[in-house]
C-alpha cells in the first residue's frame, strides 16, 4: 500500500509579549485562524513553565498543530497536514494564513518556511544537505537505483534539474549536470596531460577517468574499492562516464578494484611514480575532534600519494563547500604540516547538483634550493 505524503509548515511570529496578560490571549486567536483554514480545532495537550507554554492541537482534515509560546514573545507554530488535504495550504493560502495571524496578534515580524514533505513514495529521497549541513530539497521524480554494497548505500536518483544524481551514504556525489566539477578538478585548459602518467583514487562514477582520457595521457590508473558503484554508474550515469567503465583495461587506462591505501603501498614498493595523483574520495570532515578517523584516512591518502608522485608532479583533490569555512581551514592546516613539505593553491566553482560553490586544491612538493 502506497503511503501518503505529509506536509509540515513551520512558522514563527514575534509578538510584543507585554500586550498579552495570559497565554490564552495568544492561543485563542491562533485557534480561530486555524479553524478558518482547516476546520475544527481541539486542544489535546498543554504544558506550562516559567519560560514557555507548549500545546498540541488536534485539527480536522488529518492535521495536527503544535504551538510554543516563549516568554520573549516568540510564537512557534508547526502545522502537519496529511494526504490530499495538504493542498489546503498552497503558497497563496499560506501567505494569507500568515497575514491573518499577524493581524490577530499584532505581530512585529514573522516568517513562514516552505513545507517539509514526508511519508510519500519519493519524499525520503527529496532532502539532502549542503557541505555545512543546511537542508537542500531536490526535485526527485524517480528512483533509478537504491542498493547497499558491502561498502556503502548507493542511490541514483533522477531529478528534473540535474538529471541522474549519484548519492553515496546520503551525500550527493555527482550528477549528469556536473561536468564543471570534473573540469575544475582536472584544471582543464591549465594543465597539459599529454603523455603523462596519472593515478586516480576513488571517483567510482567514472567521470574523472572519462574526461582525463580526452587529454591524451600515456596511462591513467584508477583505484576504486566499490565495484557496485562502477557498474551502476556505467549503466545510469553514462552521459558523465561515457564508455570509461565498460572495460577495466584499455590502451590508456586500467581500473584496479581494491583499497587505495593498500594499492598506494604496493605502488611505492614497486617504485612506480606518477605525474599526477587525483584523490576523489570522501569529502573533508566538518570538524577535527569528532571525526578523527576520517581525518586520519585523508592524511594517510595524501602522505602516501606524495610518496608515489614525481618530484615535479601534482596532487589534485577536492575540499568542501565554501560555506564550510572551518573545515577548509583545518584541511589547509593539515596541508601546511605535511611531510614532505608542500605548496598549494585553491580555486572554486559552482557545482549545480551541490547547489553551492565547491573548493578544489592543487598541491605540489616544495622545491628546495
Mind telling me the catalytic residues? Answer: 280
Residue 240 cell numbers, joined: 558523465
| CB-neighbour burial class of residue 144 (10 A; exposed 0-12, middle 13-18, buried 19+) | middle
CB 115 within 8 A of CB 106: no
- Give CA–CA dist 65/194, Å, rounded: 63
- Give CA–CA dist 200/204, Å, rounded: 10
- Give CA–CA dist 242/235, Å, rounded: 10
| Of 342, 359, 341, nearest in space to 350 by CA | 359
- Give CA–CA dist 351/360, Å, rounded: 11
CB atoms within 10 A of CB 178: 25
CB 129 within 8 A of CB 324: no
Residue 44 cell numbers, joined: 489535546
- Find cell 574499492 and name the residue: 225
Residue 299 cell numbers, joined: 592524511
| Of 254, 255, 182, 252, nearest in space to 217 by CA | 252
| Of 212, 214, 248, nearest in space to 230 by CA | 248
- Give CA–CA dist 323/327, Å, rounded: 9
User: Residues 6 or more apart from 173 whose CB is under 8 A from it?
Assistant: 166, 167, 205
- Give CA–CA dist 2/6, Å, rounded: 13
Amino acid at each position: 500500500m502506497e503511503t501518503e505524503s505529509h506536509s509540515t509548515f513551520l512558522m514563527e511570529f514575534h509578538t510584543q509579549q507585554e500586550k498579552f496578560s495570559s497565554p490564552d490571549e495568544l492561543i485563542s486567536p491562533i485557534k480561530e485562524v486555524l479553524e478558518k483554514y482547516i476546520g475544527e480545532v481541539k486542544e489535546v495537550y498543554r504544558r506550562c513553565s516559567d519560560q514557555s507554554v507548549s500545546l498540541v492541537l488536534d485539527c480536522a482534515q488529518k492535521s495536527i498543530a503544535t504551538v510554543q509560546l516563549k516568554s520573549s514573545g516568540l510564537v512557534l507554530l508547526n502545522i502537519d497536514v496529511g494526504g490530499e488535504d495538504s493542498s489546503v495550504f498552497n503558497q497563496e493560502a499560506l501567505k494569507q494564513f500568515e497575514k491573518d495571524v499577524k493581524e490577530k496578534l499584532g505581530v512585529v515580524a514573522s516568517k513562514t518556511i516552505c513545507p517539509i514533505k514526508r511519508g510519500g513514495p519519493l519524499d525520503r529521497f527529496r532532502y539532502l544537505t549542503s557541505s555545512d549541513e543546511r537542508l537542500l530539497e531536490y526535485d526527485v521524480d524517480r528512483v533509478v537505483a537504491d542498493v547497499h554494497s558491502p561498502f556503502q548505500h548507493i542511490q541514483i536518483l533522477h531529478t528534473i534539474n540535474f538529471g541522474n544524481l549519484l548519492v553515496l551514504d546520503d551525500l550527493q556525489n555527482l550528477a549528469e549536470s556536473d561536468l564543471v566539477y570534473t573540469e575544475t578538478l582536472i584544471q582543464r585548459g591549465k594543465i597539459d596531460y599529454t603523455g603523462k602518467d596519472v593515478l586516480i583514487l576513488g571517483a567510482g562514477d567514472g567521470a574523472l577517468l572519462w574526461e582525463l582520457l580526452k587529454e591524451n595521457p600515456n596511462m591513467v590508473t584508477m583505484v576504486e574499492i566499490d565495484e557496485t558503484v562502477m557498474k551502476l554508474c556505467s549503466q545510469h550515469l553514462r552521459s558523465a562516464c561515457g564508455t570509461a567503465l565498460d572495460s577495466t583495461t584499455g590502451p590508456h587506462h586500467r581500473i584496479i578494484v581494491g583499497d587505495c591505501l593498500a594499492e598506494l603501498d604496493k605502488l611505492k614498493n614497486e617504485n612506480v611514480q606518477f605525474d599526477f595523483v587525483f584523490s576523489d574520495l570522501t569529502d573533508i570532515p566538518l570538524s577535527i575532534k569528532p571525526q578523527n578517523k576520517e581525518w586520519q584516512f585523508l592524511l594517510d591518502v595524501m602522505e602516501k600519494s606524495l610518496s608515489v608522485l614525481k618530484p615535479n608532479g601534482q596532487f589534485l583533490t577536492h575540499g568542501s563547500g565554501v560555506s564550510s569555512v572551518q573545515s577548509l581551514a583545518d584541511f589547509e592546516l593539515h596541508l601546511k604540516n605535511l611531510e614532505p613539505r608542500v605548496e598549494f593553491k585553491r580555486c572554486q566553482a559552482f557545482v549545480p547538483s551541490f547547489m553551492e560553490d565547491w573548493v578544489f586544491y592543487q598541491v605540489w612538493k616544495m622545491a628546495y634550493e
